[in-house]
Amino acid sequence: MTAHHVHTVFGACLGAAVRTKVLAVSPMAHVTAVPSRGEADHGMVLDQAQLRALVEGFRGSVLFPIIATLASTGCRRSEALALQWDDLDAEAKTLRIARAIEQTGDGLTLKDPKTASGKRTITIDDDLIALLLAEKEKHLRIVAGVPDGVAVDLAFVKLPNGALMFPGMPGPGEGVSLTKLRNPDNTTKEFIRKARKLGFAGLRLHDLRGSHETALLDSGMSVHVVAQRCGHDPAVLLRSYAKRTKGADTQAAAIIGAMLKGVLR
């Protein structure tokens, strides 16, 4: 939590105390220097080779399709875990992000995305589409009661309304439910354990989002396109995620060097 955030929270609390006459005056009224917002800690930014190695390292894990989706789309954890099969349009090659998971006192529930720009439809590549369709086939086989490897026409099998791409794991004595919400915190813990074994100690699940955005920005993609794809305000994106990887800085030096070639000698 930044000093600016602490200042804001204390100001709101003491302001409420004054309004309810618990305090005659807020001590914050005498604070003249407001701490700057500063730079938020956005963790690690993986370069393209590291991101590929991480995703490949999860192959065979139950988290693999989730990690692949996060790395390929830059969506938030809460958005990915709320994806339903109706959000995928394989023919149009698009994925709709329309909701997010929220942890409440009563358990997990669905809500609107974090920001007003959070509801969006993005284009996805053929490899991710193939991966998701393979995952969908597994779900159709569960509904039909047909094991993997048995040839069967699944065209007439229907998934339940609200069927999730990444449903929660069944608890003790429970059957598989394709509409059960997956616990985000448990998903993060599983990710951290596996990532550490792969040599990515300290990497957070949210860092896949920052790595996705940074890779697109470093490749020269315009800020407004990346912001729209990831559900960001462009100004926030620049302030928070426009980090330079070592490779991007080397590329920048090469571009400038080419522009000034022969002038500096």
For the stretch 64-116, pLDDT in tens is 999 999 999 999 999 999 999 999 999 999 999 999 999 888 899 999 887 77
CA distances from 197 to 52, 57, 58, 194, 202 (A): 16, 9, 11, 5, 11
At residue 7, does pLDDT exceed 80? Answer: no
Q: What is the pLDDT of residues 230-251, one digit of tens each?
A: 998 888 887 775 555 566 666 6
What string of DSSP letters covers 97-164?
A: E--EEEEETTEEEEE--SSGGG-EEEE--HHHHHHHHHHHHHHHHHHHT--TT-----TT--PPTT-B
Q: What is the pLDDT of residue 36?
A: 46
pLDDT of residue 37: 46
What pTM was computed for the model?
Answer: 0.78
Q: Is the pLDDT of residue 1 over 50?
A: no
pLDDT single digits (tens) 139-189: 999 998 888 777 777 888 899 999 999 999 887 778 889 999 999 999 999
The boundaries of every CATH 1.10.443.10 domain in the chain are: 48-241
Give the integer Cα–Cα distance in Å for 41 and 243: 12
Assigned architecture for domain 48-241: Orthogonal Bundle (1.10)
